[in-house]
Structure 1
Amino acid sequence: MCGVFVAANFMAIMDTTIVNVALPAIGRDFAVDTSGLSSVNVGYLVALAVFIPVSGWLGNRFGTRRTALAALLLFTVASALCATAGSLEALTAYRVLQGVGGGLLAPVGMTMMLRAFPVAERLRAQQYVMLPTAVAPALGPVLGGWLVDTASWHWVFLVNLPVGVLALLFGAAVLPDFPGLGAPRFDVPGFVLAGGGLAAVLYALTGAPDRGWGSADTLVPLVGGVAFLAALVPWELRAGHPMIDLRVAEDHLFRTTQLVLLPTGAAFMGVLYLYPQFLQTDLGYDALHSGLATFPEALGMLTASQVVPRLHDRVGPRRLMVVGGAGAALVVVFLAILTTAPHPLALYPSMYLLGASVGLLFASAQNAAFVTVPPARTADATTLLNMQRQTAGAFGVALAGTLTASLVPAAGTGTAHADRIAFLTLAALCLGAAVLALRVSDRRVREAYDAAAPRPARAEPVRPGRAVPDAEPDPRP
């Protein structure tokens, strides 16, 4: 099951970065200016945002196995359609279908992982779960650049097909089913408020650096999206069958870890956006080599995912999260210094240390987030986690892009000054995450592990399609 989840999530995450390097080639083929290609990514992003909130309802209504396989099939078919698109309009429509599948894959797959592995074994599972989060964003530009240079832009979509087909076949053979609580009525107002609000906010954040924060195209969707999300809270708390049971956020440990992950995710995605541009603009790297210089970050995160299970019991998640946040802040400050006196030999170890620091925080926080969440509320918790992740990433990119775009004309001395200010701002977000991590309770995590200790080491395997009952009753009234 780990392999299916990793493969599916890997494709969905990598698709957010691999297409960027293919946009110039797509524009040449379709005779479209680069500025007119934004719909290719915006369509994917908006569809992703709309269907993240509905993933929990679909899992409860149809079961996690069928939902996951359907989402994987849709994503794979849409990838094939993207590769055959003959116009920008067709490509945009197929990217929307990809976004629908991608929006369902991560929350449903994470729900299955959390319910298949008891609390005591989740850290071992994290070693695999971290793989797409660590490698996919960094590999996307490298693989995309190589495919466009050696073949054509069509291959940035075709590369998904063998992975998707194998994951489908393997998943159909081995995935167990975790039935939901049942969803007799679709929460239409909750879907509109959650999906529409998240999509509007992400749309505004994604285009803000180019359109400007004061433009109507940014302010209207941003204010409207925030208003929708604010209205979502009282509606879902009163609804008889809520789209997302927000009462899962009453869990102090879950809520605190989400607050820690929010600035960390923003800073991490902001650095991944800013760093390649610094390499290309200031140091003269081409797209492929800037991607290769970014890749050590993925190796650092993978190293951290192997280290955390060995340190978790002795050190505790709080200390690991604090060290990870503070370490990331120091590395990003060092990157800011490098904008003044860049040294190529310092770039690779810096990105490795950044990945290792962020990996310490991510792995520890994601494990701690769910140790006290009952199985019946896992789908709601993973939905909120993925909504937070998308919003944090979009905000980090928007913040970095806005700072560089606004400071370059003001400085009048090139991009180095703007990059330095942007890096320092992102470092402050990492430091804020380290401070917030001090509120995480190691005691509650230990109590959850102690309570789970007498249980079997692994959920009882079942034949594919057979239902796996929850170990705890539904906490909803």
Structure 2
Amino acid sequence: MRPFKQRTVVSVVYVTAMFMAAMDASVVNMALPTIIKEFQTSPSAAGIVNIGYLVSLAVCLPIAGWLGDRWGTKRIFLIALGMFTAASALCGLAGDLNGLNLFRVIQGAGGGLITPVGMAILFRTFPPHERPKISRVLVLPVAVAPALGPIISGFLTDQLSWRWIFYINIPIGLIILLFGLFFLDEDIQSGAGAFDLPGFLLSAPGVALAVFALNQGPVNGFGSPGVLAAGIGGLVLLTILVFVELHVKDPLLNLRLLADRVFGTMSFISLFSAAGLLGMLYVFPLMYQEVLNHSALDTALITFPEALGLMLASQLMPRLFAKLGPRRLISAVLLCGAVMFALLSLTGPGANPWFLRGLLFLAGFFLGQAVGAVQIASFANISSASMGRATTLFHVQNRLGSALGVAVMSCLLAVMSQHTEDLQPDLSAYRIALLGAAGFLAAALCFALRIRDADAAPGMGTHSRSETRKARAEGSGR
């Protein structure tokens, strides 16, 4: 008899691995000044530490679904986790900036495989009617990791060394690796199909160039030759990719899944919601520090309640999801989230910090409901065989949405700030950018109003007796 149920094993492995990957996306930012000083390099050169991670992650995302289906989700997930853990150790041991950049690229490759393959394992283990319940733990890597990343990074960098922001992954990664190796079940899909080489040759550089342009545009300017070339190149490759993938028998990115009314609608809601949330989290801290002249610590304390709101939302979402249905719930919380962003845009000198914390807490609470409900409803009608490709496609568009939000907010700041005659930060530009973030949520709301609750019924926690018996039989078999 197994010591752990498969549902417990999957939950522990998925949440822990995702927590590590999500935290490492933001953990380097606080340590960059120390890294620059130790390696005696320029800020622009040190910025590649983050760029390499994000681009490598983007390159590996499209291939994750096929690899998991073809070679087994357990095998690919553990290989990716092993890569991520080993690369973390090497990052900590790096003797120069070139070595650190190389190891961050390997770490990003592991992170790019962990996310979609891990979600495929999760959703193949839990049938649609059980997914709202597990959303209570799914929010941990989404909400807590990005918020804790800068705090942990700052503490370790100040008290020990910047190298410990990577070393901390080693014991956690090894424990989860061994736990998954002994207790995680393997799953191989017989219909994985042949490898879609044209799709990979278009998607990998296309997504990578797009992510690079969207991330570097705010830093170097969207008119700079490198950013402009990357943006145009990525757009051309992704456009060709759409036509190619729609005519391939076994596409790497199965765009036909977007024809499913629920999955397609939820994908657009997820893209615009991610753009709005990440856009707000990019603009507001900048405004609070550069315009209102607060310290980085004060800014962290102001924004952290957003993560607490996300956590509380995860505990309430399953009940509200079943009671209200996805259309009413998602529409209501997106509208409320947009209102919170609009209220944040009114922030000015002398603003009460606790009032701002309350607004950010509510913004996290409302958007946490949306994120959880969208994630659960998206895959309500996706078969087990298509789950790997579906989770891959979902995460690719989510990654692009996050980068798009930051890029658009940066453009708004640049355009509106041009109207100032001095070098002082323009408060009105930040306010307009926050309204732009609210606009992304309004766009997501337009798609949410098209949801039909009946289409997403399998994910609402209601099912027939025959489905109940089938689910119990599968559970006992595990």
Same fold (TM over 0.5): yes
Distance of 2:194 and 2:142 partners within structure 1: 34
Distance of 1:460 and 1:340 partners within structure 2: 57
Match of 2:86 in 1: 77
CA contact (8 A) 2:210 2:230 kept: yes
Asked whether 1:95 is paired with 2:104, we answer: yes
Shift of residue 293, structure 1, vs aligned partner = 2.0
Shift of residue 283, structure 1, vs aligned partner = 3.4
* 450, 453, 457: which one aligns with 2:463: 450
Matching residue's letter, 1:432: A
Match of 1:158 in 2: 167
Per mean C-alpha deviation after superposition, the further-off stretch among 58-67 and 213-222 is 213-222
Alpha carbons of structure 1 residues 244 and 459: separation in structure 2 relative to 1, 3 Å: farther
1:311-364 CA distances to partner (integer Å, 9 max, x unpaired)? Answer: 122111111111111111111111110136522121211111011011111111
- Name the Cα RMSD after superposition: 1.7
Alpha carbons of structure 1 residues 457 and 288: separation in structure 2 relative to 1, 3 Å: farther
Asked whether 1:423 is paired with 2:434, we answer: yes
CA contact (8 A) 2:135 2:372 kept: yes
Match of 1:66 in 2: 75
Match of 1:473 in 2: none
Asked whether 1:50 is paired with 2:59, we answer: yes
1:43-93 CA distances to partner (integer Å, 9 max, x unpaired)? Answer: 111110010010011101110000111100100000010011111110000
Distance of 1:175 and 1:278 partners within structure 2: 46
Asked whether 1:279 is paired with 2:279, we answer: no
Matching residue's letter, 2:470: R
Shift of residue 184, structure 1, vs aligned partner = 5.6
* 19, 34, 39: which one aligns with 1:25: 34
Match of 1:230 in 2: 239
Asked whether 1:381 is paired with 2:390, we answer: yes
Match of 2:211 in 1: 202
Identity %: 40
TM-score (norm 2): 0.93
SS of equivalent to 1:414? coil
CA contact (8 A) 1:64 1:180 kept: no
Matching residue's letter, 2:454: R
Matching residue's letter, 1:428: G
Distance of 1:310 and 1:183 partners within structure 2: 36
Matching residue's letter, 2:120: T
TM-score (norm 1): 0.93
1:126-184 CA distances to partner (integer Å, 9 max, x unpaired)? Answer: 11112111111111111111211222111111121122112112111221112123546
Distance of 1:66 and 1:431 partners within structure 2: 41
Distance of 2:283 and 2:473 partners within structure 1: 42
CA contact (8 A) 2:275 2:406 kept: yes
**Number of residue pairs aligned between Structure 1 and Structure 2:** 463
Match of 1:301 in 2: 310
Distance of 2:473 and 2:31 partners within structure 1: 43
SS of equivalent to 1:180? coil
Alpha carbons of structure 1 residues 240 and 443: separation in structure 2 relative to 1, 3 Å: closer
Match of 2:353 in 1: 344
Distance of 1:446 and 1:44 partners within structure 2: 38
SS of equivalent to 2:25? helix
SS of equivalent to 1:52? helix
Shift of residue 230, structure 1, vs aligned partner = 1.5
Asked whether 1:396 is paired with 2:417, we answer: no
Match of 2:445 in 1: 434
Alpha carbons of structure 1 residues 121 and 303: separation in structure 2 relative to 1, 3 Å: same
Alpha carbons of structure 1 residues 341 and 321: separation in structure 2 relative to 1, 3 Å: farther
CA contact (8 A) 1:55 1:383 kept: yes
Distance of 2:301 and 2:152 partners within structure 1: 10
CA contact (8 A) 2:380 2:457 kept: no
Match of 1:141 in 2: 150
Asked whether 1:291 is paired with 2:300, we answer: yes
Structure 1 gap segments, 5+ residues each: 464-477
Matching residue's letter, 1:223: I
